[in-house]
Each structure stands twice: as structure tokens, then as C-alpha cells.
Structure 1
């Protein structure tokens, strides 16, 4: 966790910095908002800015945004009243920390924006095999492709590999390729020179240079545009990058990790992913099985999350009842570890007795987990329905079946393109291209309903 403190280090702010360092943060300091933007632009990375609320927080955020720098801000201050704290939040701060500082509050704020302290909780034999392979290859500089369903823990194991590598004392930088628009991702990765585009007021160091000496994680790399993939391939091969608008290459020394929740071999066949880049990234593949395939981890993870959220909410740690354990193991967990974590957070809040019983463990829609035997009946019914549906496809072309599947899935998601693409296991770009073909052929395509994303 990299923390950049902005403001004069008077007594109370200095105490807050010491508490942040005790909580594991790597702290650096500047006195003005201008110096903060300059430091970030120059490659002094930060995961969080802690800013004196009397400084121009809105101006700092605007200056960073103009340089395509997005780092969350928390405000802090001595003797601030509710009005001052509210103004800091209105200016764009995510949280307000009153000074004199409280160690638990600072630790909680750091934990809220940091993934650094998520431990690997492993009990299942299948997952232990994955971890054994990770331990074996971590000390090398080989590129690693980490694959698995959304929520299965790909970034957690990427951080684990970094911590077990020879580069552990150097930066670990993560870039979510799916979350950054295509026209911004190149600058985010490779940086830019002054004047490279409108708003480029000065040189900006990209994530490749920021990670120099350490590890760069390219999260959900399947969403990267093919044109940019070519530039990435060259950077990996030559160990040098070209800033946007630059005139000469810049040498970098990094280890590349990448994650994907999609089948990249299929993406290669579809023409949305470069085969040569896949070979470069996939020197070693760590496939994380979904949670439903690692039942031995379910209870271990559940108990870990119970301890975590009991401490966070100031309540006693309660054990799981026998029926709760049975239902947890029987549930299929389509959201994987992320879904389990949310369910156990709710369970800690809803549980009232000496144990966490089955009725305290709720699905996102508020319904309790089904009894263990109900899952077997549901699986049998689903198998019968699948067999009936497959017969209906006999005699149709593959293209027709694919079209019907895509349209039906889109209707199921109320027109939400992103959700439909995730369910279908294809990229959002592939889905958009398919829908464009259908529309041009006169096939009605479900439009996003109110509240659904058209992305």
C-alpha cells in the first residue's frame, strides 16, 4: 500500500503518518497539491492520497484527472467541523479522517482501498496443487498467465507470486485493462510526453516505468484492443517502451503477470487476441478452479471472512452451525470467492444467536441458501432441461443456434451488454460485433432497459 501525504507535517499529521506506516503503508510526502501532481506524473506511484482538508482538494483531483491520473483521495484535518468535512467530501475526497488520529480508523481506511493484505486461504487439494506450482515458478522472471472465473482470486494469487519472487521489495503495479477506456489505456501503460494530446501539460510516467524493477499485473488482458496488443508484445520482447508522443524508447526491467476470465485460445481464433502475445504471456499458466470445484476451501474461506468482518464490525466471532456448513458446501457459488465473502459479511451482520445459522447466510436477493438436498434435485432438473433443449437445436446451423443463444441471454440480462458478455464467456467487443451483424441483417436486438448498461 503506497500512501502519498499532501500537506505540512505538523504534529497530528505526522502522528497519522506513523500510524499508517505501522499499518504497513509505504509513505511519501509533499507539501502542496502542485507537488503531488508532479510526483504522480513523474512516476512516484500512490494507491491513496491523504490530503490536508485546507488545501485545494478539488483542484488537485482536477489536475490529476487532466493528466489521466486517478488515485483516490482521503481528507484529514485538525479540529475540522462537520461543514469542513462535508466540503472535503464534496470536493471529491472519498473519506475524512479527523485529527488527532485514531489508529483503527486509519487502518480501516487503508484496508478499504488496498488489496495488499488479502491472504491466501487454501485447504482444498486441487488448490494446493496450484499453489505448489506458484511457489515453484515465483522466483523466476517468467511471464505467468493466471486464468479462472471472475471472483476466483486471480489478483490475490498474482500478489502472492510477487511476494514470493526476487522482486518482492520492488513495486507491484496492477492495471485493469477492462476498466480503462481503449483511448486512455496506451497512455496509462506507456506514459506520454508533453503535448502528446490535448491536456498533456507535462511528461507522464506510465505503469511500465512505475513498475520498473518490480512486477506489472495486466488484469483482464483479454479486453485490450488488438492494436495496443502489438505495442505490448514489443515491450515484452524488447524490454523497452515508447511513451505516447515520444521520440526514443525507454528501457524497463519488469516481470509481467496477466489474468483473464476468458478463453484466450478461443479469442485467438476469433481474431480478438494475438497468438504471438498469448505465447509470450503464457510461459506458465496458473488455472484457478472455481469455488464449486474446490469444496475443501469453502469452509476455510468462510471462517476467515467471519473473523475479518466480526473484527471490522466489533462483534464476537460466532461459529458456523452444522446446517450452515452443509449449505455452504452444497451451494455452487457462481460469484466464487467474492460472492462467498459478501455472503459471510451479511451473515456476520444478520446473525443473532450463539452460532451463525443457515438463515443468516443470504444470497444477494435476500433469499437463504437452499438446503443441501435441494441442490441435488435442482441439478437433476437442470440436466433434464438441458437434454430437452439440446434436442430442439437439432437441424439448425451453428450460426443460428449462436444467434438465438446471444439474443436470449441479452433478454435475460435486460439488455445489459456487459452482463451478457460475462455469462456467454465472450468479450464485450465480440458481443458488440455480433449484435451489429444481427441488426444489419434485420434481427431485433434487445435494447438496454432502464438501469441496464449499454456498454
Structure 2
């Protein structure tokens, strides 16, 4: 039996509810972390794995439908099929609580709760979570197996992972460098019903000997030398394969022999590049900023309006990985009350450091408007406007001449 204190996450917009739960449970050796809404909860979930989650079903004032809570419950179960979630609802919410249990919650608590009921329910949830992990330990690595984002393209990926993870089907995960292929692979493993050995290898390496009931994760499967591909097919036997590649379908077909391609692509999951995920870049930036602020014990700061526009417009050549790194740097080096464009180092070059994202826009509209606004804010004081825009005076004068100021 584990001697580590159980970890419980309470997701509730009422700080008094969180405090009451923490006071009760801590007296019984249970550590409680609070989150005021689902967005804050994902930051906490990325930092550590919790034994149990107490989830309120309503967050917006006056709401009683539970829609926000059900959406969070669905995402929690999709991200980790072993997550143990206890829903918390009001006296009128019995039918809502029953629905939540049908959709994956392990139990429910009615507010206002009795301390005995809350403690007993939480302890049962903790015991259930630990029993699940004893059978199928969580994969190690990363900031949690959570595919964050609300764009329809990433929602489809999450839905597909939830469908496929419990099966033994081979899965091919394609996407640009840094888009989260390894994260998808971990999510597939977290939801797998198959136990046994999990071995991760690079396509440039040699195929290991694997037991029949194991899972082989092949990173950059297209790197397997063509002369060795038949041997990989033979040695893999009945092992389940989860493979990743940066190549598109046509290029991958050209790189692999048919036998290997057919062996790995029963199910194909295509990860969209971050630039095609609508507002997810800013959503992920807020998540990463909060994550690193907590990790480095720095104050959490909002993203300035101009920085948010630059983040949303940037093409992010290193995809989510590049955004994550930029946010970590912003937390460590940012000095203002908000995170501005300079914090994210989105500049084209040192001599003309206009934000990289803005350089990719249609400057006939975007750049002219940005320059005009800065000049007006500073009563056409070029030095101050240039400083706000992150430009040298000479670079700003060039833009003023270009746009007829």
C-alpha cells in the first residue's frame, strides 16, 4: 500500500467550498488542491496526477444545467480513462448526478454535504484510483497526458483517441514536429486495456525483442531504413504498434514498404498544426504561462492584448513545442505587469525586431494600423512609439515612410 498522502483536486468556483473540503480532508491525511474553473484545473492536472477529482457541475453564475461540468467530465475521461471523478451537485441535482455517473463519474456528493459522506466518498474514490493504477500504471513523462484545446480539429483528435485507446488496433500518429505526437501516444497508452511491456524506440534504431502482449511505440517510423523494414515487420509479430511520423500520407507511403505501412496504420490520427487551430494558440499560451508560473514560483500574469494578437497570428514553426518554450521563457524573463510581445521573443531579426507574427500578416492593414495606434498613443513621439513596438527609431521611420505617415 502506498504511504504517500493521497492527492485530491477540488474543482469549484466557490472558494469557501474548496476551503471546507480542504479543512475536512486534510485532517484525515488527504492533500487538497483547489481550482476555481476547468481552465485552472488543467494547469493543476498538468503539474501532477491526482488520486481523485471532486468536480462541481456549474461554474457560471446562475447556471444549473451542469453543461460546463459535463464537458469537463468528458474531457477528463477522454484524457485518462482511469481518472476517478466524484461530481458535486446541489439538492435539486440528483438526476444530474445520475447522468454524470452514466457518463463516467465514479460517485456523487450532494451540497450541502455531510462531512461523513464527503470523507467516505472521497476515500472510496482514492481506493478505486489506486486499485486501477496497481493494474495499469500510468505512463511516465511530460506534463500530463492531456490534449488541450477547443478547436474542432483537436476535439476530433481527442474523440478518436478515446475511441481507439481501449482497443489493440495499431495506430499511426502524423503531424508536424512539435505538434504533440508523443503526447497522443501517451494518451493512447493511458487508455489502453492491454497490459504488458511498453517499449519506445526510434525508427533509426534496431527493433527489440517483444513479448506478444506488449506495445511498441515507434517514433519517426519513416526513419527505419528501407532494407530493414521487412525484418521489423517479422519481429513485431502480434505486438500492438503505435507509430509516429512527421511525413504526410504520400511521403510516408513512398518511405515505407507496403507490409510495414499496413502493419502500422489500422487507425490514422492526423494532428493539425497549431497555426490551423483557431484560438487555441492563445488558450495554450495561457495554460503554459500558468503552468510555468506555478513551477517557478513566479506571479501569474495575463497576456497583453498586443501579445495575444501576435500569438494568435504567428505561424509557430516549432508548433506547440515552440509555444511552450516561448511561454517558459516569458515567465522567466518577463518583467512587466503583463506579458507583452517582447516577452515571447517573436522578432524577425535583431536589426528590425517587428513581432514575427505581425511580419506574417498582411502588413498593408495590420502593420499600418499598429504603427498608427502607437504613434497616436504617444502623440507622435517617435522614440516612445518605437519603444512600445519593440522597434528601433530607424525601423519605425522606415515603416512611417512606407505607410505615408
TM-score by length of 2: 0.51
Relative to structure 1, the CA distance from residue 286 to residue 261 in structure 2 (aligned partners, 3 Å threshold; closer, same or farther) is same
Instruction: Output one character per residue of 1:178-197: Cα deviation in whole Å (capped at 9) or x when no partner.
Output: 4xxxxxx22xx32xxxxxxx
Establish whether residue 306 from structure 1 lines up as the match of residue 303 from structure 2. no
Instruction: Output one character per residue of 1:402-422: Cα deviation in whole Å (capped at 9) or x when no partner.
Output: xxxxxxxxxxxxxxxxxxxxx
Alignment partner, residue 155 of structure 2: 128
Kept after mapping to 2: 8 A contact 1:151/1:337: yes
How far 1:174 moved relative to its partner?
Answer: 1.8
Alignment partner, residue 240 of structure 2: 255
Q: Distance in 2 between matches of 1:299 and 1:128?
A: 16
Aligned to 2:147, what secondary structure does the other structure show? Answer: coil
Alignment partner, residue 163 of structure 1: 190
Q: Distance in 2 between matches of 1:375 and 1:346?
A: 22
Q: Distance in 2 between matches of 1:377 and 1:310?
A: 34
Task: Select 1:114's aligned residue among 118, 141, 144.
Answer: 141
Alignment partner, residue 142 of structure 1: 169
Establish whether residue 224 from structure 1 lines up as the match of residue 224 from structure 2. yes
Q: Distance in 2 between matches of 1:124 and 1:260?
A: 22
Alignment partner, residue 370 of structure 1: 355
Establish whether residue 297 from structure 1 lines up as the match of residue 270 from structure 2. no
Residue segments in structure 2 that go unaligned for 5+ positions in a row: 1-47, 50-139, 366-405
Q: Distance in 2 between matches of 1:327 and 1:267?
A: 33
How far 1:135 moved relative to its partner?
Answer: 1.3
Q: Distance in 1 between matches of 2:166 and 2:280?
A: 26
Q: Distance in 2 between matches of 1:364 and 1:216?
A: 41
Q: Distance in 1 between matches of 2:248 and 2:357?
A: 31
Q: Distance in 2 between matches of 1:379 and 1:312?
A: 41
How far 1:281 moved relative to its partner?
Answer: 1.0
How far 1:114 moved relative to its partner?
Answer: 2.9
How far 1:145 moved relative to its partner?
Answer: 0.5
Relative to structure 1, the CA distance from residue 124 to residue 268 in structure 2 (aligned partners, 3 Å threshold; closer, same or farther) is closer
Relative to structure 1, the CA distance from residue 371 to residue 265 in structure 2 (aligned partners, 3 Å threshold; closer, same or farther) is closer
Equivalent residues in 2 for 1:55-70 (5 A)?
none
Q: Distance in 1 between matches of 2:196 and 2:349?
A: 43
Query: Number of aligned pairs?
Result: 226
Kept after mapping to 2: 8 A contact 1:177/1:221: yes
Task: Select 1:154's aligned residue among 181, 189, 192.
Answer: 181
Relative to structure 1, the CA distance from residue 122 to residue 369 in structure 2 (aligned partners, 3 Å threshold; closer, same or farther) is farther
Kept after mapping to 1: 8 A contact 2:347/2:354: no
Alignment partner, residue 287 of structure 1: 270
Aligned to 2:193, what secondary structure does the other structure show? Answer: coil
Alignment partner, residue 199 of structure 2: 173
Q: Which stretch shifts more, 331-340 or 342-351?
A: 342-351
Q: Distance in 1 between matches of 2:263 and 2:171?
A: 9
Aligned to 2:160, what secondary structure does the other structure show? Answer: helix
Kept after mapping to 2: 8 A contact 1:358/1:369: no
Q: Distance in 1 between matches of 2:359 and 2:349?
A: 18
TM-score by length of 1: 0.46
Alignment partner, residue 66 of structure 1: none
Kept after mapping to 1: 8 A contact 2:222/2:256: yes
Relative to structure 1, the CA distance from residue 345 to residue 143 in structure 2 (aligned partners, 3 Å threshold; closer, same or farther) is same
How far 1:295 moved relative to its partner?
Answer: 2.4
Relative to structure 1, the CA distance from residue 366 to residue 360 in structure 2 (aligned partners, 3 Å threshold; closer, same or farther) is farther
Establish whether residue 333 from structure 1 lines up as the match of residue 360 from structure 2. no
How far 1:214 moved relative to its partner?
Answer: 4.1
How far 1:133 moved relative to its partner?
Answer: 1.5
Alignment partner, residue 90 of structure 2: none
Residue segments in structure 1 that go unaligned for 5+ positions in a row: 1-22, 25-112, 179-184, 191-205, 240-253, 381-455
Establish whether residue 265 from structure 1 lines up as the match of residue 250 from structure 2. yes
Relative to structure 1, the CA distance from residue 364 to residue 357 in structure 2 (aligned partners, 3 Å threshold; closer, same or farther) is closer
Q: Distance in 2 between matches of 1:358 and 1:158?
A: 33
